[in-house]
Amino acid sequence: MIASATSCNTPAAKDSRQDVFLALLPKIQLHAAIYFRYIRCPAKKADKVADAVALAWKWFLRLQERGKDINNFRMVFVILVARAVKSGRRLTGMEKIKDVFSERAQRRSGFRVEPLGTGVRANQDLLGVEIQELLDERLRDNTVTPPPDAAAFRIDFPQWRSTWGERDRRLIDLLMLDARTQDAARSFRISAGRVSQKRREFHDDWLRFHGEYCASFQNSDVI
């Protein structure tokens, strides 16, 4: 056992092992390129091929340690490596199932990630241009509020808030902190359904305060 392990770690053994893998490498790359031909992005496709090569090297070393000859099942090995990469396996482990950018998560939960506005524009004929632009604006990442909107909100919100009673004002403040429905219900000793009703009342009254309620109602009829 000791003599065998020592012989496997000699420079000649390492060179021989690398030569075997390098002879197999073109088949791994070609099959991975064919297997992932459905990927349109060249960079993403190249990443998949690279993942297949890295995983193949890891598996190849394990087979060598067990005394397995890769030449006896070369094509089976190449096919299994490509399938493993598609299922989410990587050199350092599996893709995280809770990562929305993971193909494994998308495949399991039945969704896909697209550039912002792609799905909305596909329904332009159904929703209309006005609704499409409205949804695009709502979905667009905007971490900086324009100064005029910020100034208007600082003036309008305290006025609107003052139109409610003291208990409702405290509930508004709690909901603004993104409190969960159940937590708000326990804090005010009311049902979760009542919290949801109050949230809707606050929302509709805020729209009425700005004169936006009618426009919002008309848009919902269009949809």
- Are both 6 and 104 inside the same structural domain? yes
pLDDT score, position 81: 92
> Taking Cα atoms as reference points, which of 86, 83, 57 lies closest to residue 70?
57
**11-35 and 74-86 helices, crossing angle to 10°:** 60
- Are both 129 and 170 inside the same structural domain? no
Is residue 15 very low, low, confident or very high in pLDDT (cuts 50, 70, 90)? low
- Are both 191 and 174 inside the same structural domain? yes
- Are both 70 and 93 inside the same structural domain? yes
Domain that holds residue 129: 114-143
Contacts 24+ apart (CB under 8 A), 115-121: 116/140, 116/141
Q: Where is pLDDT greater, at 107 or 43?
A: 43
Q: How far is CA 27 from the centre of its chain?
A: 32
Q: Does an H or E element contain 198, and which?
A: helix 192-209
pLDDT score, position 39: 83
- Are both 83 and 179 inside the same structural domain? no
What is the C-alpha separation between 71 and 80, in angstroms, rounded? 15
Q: What is the DSSP string of 145-186?
A: --HHHHHHHHHHHHHHHTTS-HHHHHHHHHHHTT--HHHHHH
- Are both 217 and 152 inside the same structural domain? yes
- Are both 126 and 91 inside the same structural domain? no
- Are both 171 and 139 inside the same structural domain? no
- Are both 100 and 8 inside the same structural domain? yes
pLDDT score, position 11: 55
The C-alpha torsion from 134 through 136 and 137 to 138, rounded to 10°, is 90
Task: Please count the structural domains in the chain.
Answer: 3
Tokens for 59, please give them: 């598996």
- Are both 37 and 98 inside the same structural domain? yes
pLDDT score, position 130: 58
pLDDT in tens, 58-93: 999 999 888 888 888 989 999 999 998 888 887 877
Q: Where is pLDDT greater, at 129 or 176?
A: 176
- Are both 24 and 81 inside the same structural domain? yes
Question: Domain ends where: 87, 109, 131?
Answer: 109
Residue in the structure block whose two tokens are 């397995």: 68
pLDDT score, position 4: 46
What is the C-alpha separation between 92 and 80, in angstroms, rounded? 17
What is the C-alpha separation between 124 and 126, in angstroms, rounded? 5
Residue in the structure block whose two tokens are 């299994």: 80
pLDDT in tens, 140-171: 656 677 787 778 788 888 899 999 999 999 99
- Are both 12 and 86 inside the same structural domain? yes
pLDDT score, position 89: 81
